């Protein structure tokens, strides 16, 4: 009889219970939600300041981050966390308040 297949190639640690495994997965969804929240906050700030992707690309260039307009749009849509922070800095968002 063949052993069951596991993605990592190893059997799971029996000391790690099912509840701990579920908590690990929940943590991953929290990060995805945080990235989506950050992306939405940036989009709201861009709309509020009437900055389009062309202008954002120019402002990022002033900070030394060279990218095309398409690359900027792609990275914003991908919710790239550190890049979103750089975008906020480029458009002059001094503080982002998160209320949980």
- pLDDT tens track, the chain, 100 positions: 444 444 444 555 555 555 554 454 455 555 667 788 888 888 999 999 999 999 999 999 999 999 999 999 999 998 888 888 899 899 998 766 666 5
Residue with tokens 């095309």: 68
Model pTM greater than 0.85? no
- Give how far the C-alpha of residue 81 lies from the chain's centroid of Cα atoms, to the nearest Å: 4
Stretch (H or E) spanning 82: helix 81-91
d(CA 3, CA 73): 46
């Amino acid at each position: 009889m063949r052993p069951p297949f596991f993605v990592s190639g190893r059997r799971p640690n029996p000391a790690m219970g099912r509840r701990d495994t579920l908590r690990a997965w929940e943590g991953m969804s929290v990060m995805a939600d945080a990235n989506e929240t950050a992306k939405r906050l940036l989009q709201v700030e861009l709309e509020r300041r009437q900055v389009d992707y062309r202008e954002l690309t120019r402002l990022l260039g002033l900070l030394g981050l060279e990218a095309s307009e398409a690359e900027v749009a792609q990275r914003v849509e991908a919710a790239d966390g550190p890049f979103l922070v750089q975008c906020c800095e480029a458009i002059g968002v001094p503080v982002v308040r998160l209320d949980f």
